[in-house]
Amino acid sequence: MKKINIGLIGFGTVGSSVVKILKERKELIKRKLGAELVIKRIVDKDISTPRKVKVPAKILTKRINDVLNDPEIDIVIELIGDSPVAEKIIMGAIKRGKPIVTANKALLAKKGRRIFKEAERKGVEIYFEASVGGGIPIIKALREGLAANRISSLFGIINGTANYILSGMSHYGSSFKEALRDARAKGYAERDPSLDVEGIDSAHKLTILSTLAFEGFVDLKDIYREGITKITSQDIQYAKEFGYVVKLLAIAKESNGSLEARVHPTMIPQEHLLAAVDGAYNAIYVRGDLIGRSMFYGRGAGGFPAASAVVADIMDLVKSGGRFLSSNFSKGPLKIKNMGEVETRYYIHFTTVDRPGVLASISGILAKHRISIASVIQKERREKGKVPIVMMTHEAKESSIQKALREIDRLKVVKAKSMLIRVEGEL
Amino acid sequence: MKKINIGLIGFGTVGSSVVKILKERKELIKRKLGAELVIKRIVDKDISTPRKVKVPAKILTKRINDVLNDPEIDIVIELIGDSPVAEKIIMGAIKRGKPIVTANKALLAKKGRRIFKEAERKGVEIYFEASVGGGIPIIKALREGLAANRISSLFGIINGTANYILSGMSHYGSSFKEALRDARAKGYAERDPSLDVEGIDSAHKLTILSTLAFEGFVDLKDIYREGITKITSQDIQYAKEFGYVVKLLAIAKESNGSLEARVHPTMIPQEHLLAAVDGAYNAIYVRGDLIGRSMFYGRGAGGFPAASAVVADIMDLVKSGGRFLSSNFSKGPLKIKNMGEVETRYYIHFTTVDRPGVLASISGILAKHRISIASVIQKERREKGKVPIVMMTHEAKESSIQKALREIDRLKVVKAKSMLIRVEGEL
């Protein structure tokens, strides 16, 4: 039976899960693959701390070149995360003609163009299923399963931490801080949660998904990004009253011939399937012209889900026998619509004094900017003389809304910066 | 650029959609595939009725052998549906070493073992993504994306017609007959709907899914099957009161070392993601030991969704370059648990006279068979002196339930055959 030698770089949570699977599932993989996968070398900065799987000491090394320069190693697995070293590893493997499996969404989002151009020049395959959606085979679905479709839109809940926090705020009425504390206690949030709660990780993943779905390079820099830190439990409560749920969505969609790519808190209808995606789960909702609506759901993070994707990639690489899936990273960059040009509906929460004429002033300014109001809730409940006015607008241009809000926030009767949440009614 | 000649057999809804895609999306496919797909021949009984796509008259033929015996044809697409001719086509293509793409779930379910044994002997690939779940790439997910997982359970809403009917009954309180009429009017149900509403189609698809997921041949004959024709809107209403939704589920799951494979109406918790799968949509909920819970959702039927899967299969075949995905149909048959041995929870609806002691008699019999009651609703509402008693049991053995029901249904105070719906609380 054919033996495939693997060099693993990065022996952390995902790396050790990969080793565990390859070790304990040797027979299943042999049976499915008709080949044996052998871990020939494991590279890590730390080769002394015991991991959840035992490996012979002699295969452990701290030197990356022990993998890159070993002519017997057939496939390089890069699992060290976002670091300048990761780029060196991948470029080094490409240079030596070794196919690569990586989970490195940040690196692909930031350096994907350079990496894939070089990989295509050298005819080297890079597989990256684990970079988005953990164990959900969404990369494969976009590249292969839905290959005949023109994708018109893609909506993703692709950060489990942010979704866990928003779900907590929605179900238990907790504040952002409380929900974050809970996410930390459960191991879903890191000490510095900014990658997750500021939407940075979602934007990285959206770069990858939209580049695949829309067949052209989507530059991370062109993706509008807004996190969930300013969402209050009160806004989530009002959203409910309007029949909506707040999710951190990564959105890429065609509208009038150009592409929108944005990550921000979004209100979606309560009865939509994405609204039911709770806790640390991920889901990617895709519309294709042939298949219509589809959704892919599962665990977005964790050692074993990601390792499941890594091992599937290795098996695909072995079976591919030279088959080359072009990635779209090297294609012409797609023009992304300026955020000011985006048209959508808006939820706006004004904090005003309780005095006659306030609603008139606000709605006057909105009208001047041609923003039409769909519904309003004005509550009697007040704190220290402040009254919340919340409204849903009809479709309006982002630039108009921003101009109107700046004007409204300067009114004397407005007591705090107005809160805006974009609404996607038709997903 | 390499040209791949395709012989299409079956120029119906799916067939003509395939032709339309290959024609109108020629450039996209060339770009993604690095090869050109050419439809060299189309076979159908009817070659005169105009289709939604125009083709040169000279490529149309009524003779299957014009495809099978043409040495220039590289791939055979079989889309004629369940018919003895389909088996001949596929066996003929295998004999001539031509790879096949088919959507024929009924044929694969009934003759898959013979077909795949022969295909493996000859080293001929058969792809069948369109056989289950329309445009949802679930076959690919099970064979490739989740390849490293041990699947522990699979729950599928894999018949759009049945799901459309049950959704209608649930949302509008309509009767089975009314909902069926509506499904017919919308084009979701055929004149003879028995394949769909009796669970036959779901059982065919479950044979395919469970054979892939559990790595052994699951014989259609071993799958327990029960349709939705006896479900009343009243039962759906009671289910709601207990917090459940009724779905026609195709279930395959490991329990205590053996496999259960069954298709029947099933009550699932209202808040479960599968409960939100409405109308003509399909979804397959899969639990794997590495990925945990996952779900794949989309349109289960229709020309374009199925054609999307067929074209993806063709593209995969072209790219595979000799890669051979073993199907499990030729593997040792899996032992399927006898339905009597299955243990689950039950919803039971008794129709009794309104007289003291009725509940005592019924619960006495249940207790004798060691069936313990979780909750009871006894309604005051009655028609012609009949009173409904509905209950949910704790876990019990199917054989015990059946024995108890036979005994209960012989009681003089029981006025109609008791209605039983199985409950899956933990999916």
Q: Name the minimum distance, in Å, from the CA of A235 to any CA of chain B.
A: 23
Those residues with Cβ within 8 angstroms of residue B93's Cβ, 6 or more apart along the chain or in another chain? B68, B76, B78, B99, B100, B124
Of B25, B149, B312, the CB nearest to A145: B312
Contact B272, B295 (CB under 8 A): no
> What pLDDT was estimated at residue B324?
64
Chain B residues whose CB is inside 8 A of the A305 CB are 290-292
What is the per-residue pLDDT for B327? Answer: 79
Per-residue pLDDT, B323: 63
Q: What is the mean pLDDT of chain A?
A: 95
pLDDT band at A385 (very low <50, low <70, confident <90, very high): confident
Q: How confident is the model at residue B255 (pLDDT cuts 50, 70, 90)?
A: confident
Interchain proximity A299–B308, CB inside 8 Å:
no
Q: Which of B28, B148, B215 sits opposite A25 (nearest CB)?
A: B148
Average confidence (pLDDT) over B357-364: 94
Picking from A146, A276, A304, the nearest residue to B308 by CB comes out as A146
3-state secondary structure B26-56: HHHHHHHHCEEEEEEEEECCCCCCCCCCCCC
The whole-chain average pLDDT of chain B stands at: 95
Q: Tens of pLDDT along B138-190?
A: 999 999 999 999 999 999 999 999 999 999 999 999 999 999 999 999 999 98
Residue A169 pLDDT: 97
- The pLDDT of residue B325 is above 80: no
Give me the total of CB pairs closer than 8 Å, taking one residue from chain A and one from chain B.
181
Would the pLDDT of A404 be above 90?
A: yes
* Structural tokens at position B80: 């004629």
CA distance B147 to chain A (A): 6
A380 exposure class (CB count in 10 Å sphere: 0-12, 13-18, 19+): exposed
Residue A212: closest CA among chain B residues belongs to which residue? Answer: B32
pLDDT at B378 (0 to 100): 85
Q: What is the pLDDT of residues B80-94, one digit of tens each?
A: 998 999 999 999 999
B321/A321 touch (CB, cutoff 8 Å), yes or no: yes
**Per-residue confidence (pLDDT) for residue B153, from 0 to 100:** 98
pLDDT for B258-286, tens place per residue? 999 999 999 999 999 999 999 999 999 99
Structure tokens at B162: 């049945």
- Regarding beta strands B126-127 and A126-127, do their DSSP bridges make them parallel or antiparallel, or are they unpaired? unpaired
Q: Please state, in angstroms and rounded to a whole number, the distance separating the CA atoms of residues B427 and B247.
A: 13
Q: Which of A163, A170, A271, A308 to probe the B interface (max B CBs under 10 A)?
A: A308
Among the partner residues B137, B273, B311, nearest to A297 by beta-carbon distance: B273
Percent of chain B having pLDDT more than 70?
Answer: 98
Residue of A nearest to B294 (CA): A298
Q: Chain B contacts of A149, Cβ < 8 Å?
A: 135, 308
Reported as a single tens digit per residue, the pLDDT across B117-135 is 999 999 999 999 999 999 9
pLDDT per position as a tens digit, A303-315: 999 999 999 999 9
Q: Quick one: pLDDT at residue B45?
A: 96
Does the structure show a pLDDT above 90 at A354?
Answer: no
Report the chain B residue with the minimal C-alpha distance to residue A298: B294
Contact B311 A147 (CB under 8 A): yes
The answer to whether the Cβ–Cβ distance between B315 and A137 falls below 8 Å is no
pLDDT at A323: 63
**pLDDT at residue A322 above 70?**
no
Residues 6+ apart with CB under 8 A from B213: B142, B151, B154, B252, B286
**DSSP β-ladder status, A244-255 and A151-157:** antiparallel
Lowest mean pLDDT among A1-15, A311-325, B169-183: A311-325
pLDDT of residue A379: 76
Q: What is the DSSP letter of B132?
A: S
Question: Looking at the annotation, which residues of A are catalytic?
Answer: 205
- pTM score of the predicted model: 0.97
Mutation to test the B interface, candidates A291, A317, A328, most B Cβ within 10 Å: A291
Encode pLDDT of B399-417 as tens digits: 999 999 999 999 999 999 9
Minimal Cα distance from A143: which residue of B?
A: B32
Whether A141 and B146 lie within 8 Å, measured CB to CB:
no
Judging contacts by C-beta atoms under 8 Å, the chain A residues touching residue B144 are 137, 140, 312, 315-316
pLDDT 10s digits, A17-54:
999 999 999 999 999 898 999 999 999 999 999 999 99
Q: Which of B28, B145, B308 sits opposite A291 (nearest CB)?
A: B308
* Rounded Cα–Cα distance for residues B94 and B78 (Å): 12
H/E stretch holding A401: helix A398-409
> What average pLDDT does this structure show over A226-239?
96
Asked if the model's pLDDT at residue A325 lies above 80, the reply is no
Residue B382 scores a pLDDT above 70:
no
Q: Which residues of B247-285 are buried (b: 16+ CB within 10 A; e: fewer)?
A: bbbbbbbbeeeebbbbbbbbbbbeebbbbbbbbbbbbbb
A65-83 pLDDT, tens digit each:
999 999 999 999 999 998 9
Best B308, B311, B318, B331 residue to mutate vs chain A (most A CBs within 10 Å): B308
Q: Can you give the pLDDT at residue A324? A: 64
Residues 6+ apart with CB under 8 A from B108: B102, B115, B128, B131, B204, B207, B208, B329
pLDDT at A381 exceeding the cut of 90: no
Q: Would you please indicate which residues of B are annotated as catalytic (active-site) residues?
A: 205
Compute the average pLDDT of residues A136-156: 97
Domains of chain B: 2-137+305-330 (3.40.50.720), 144-299 (3.30.360.10), 340-423 (3.30.70.260)
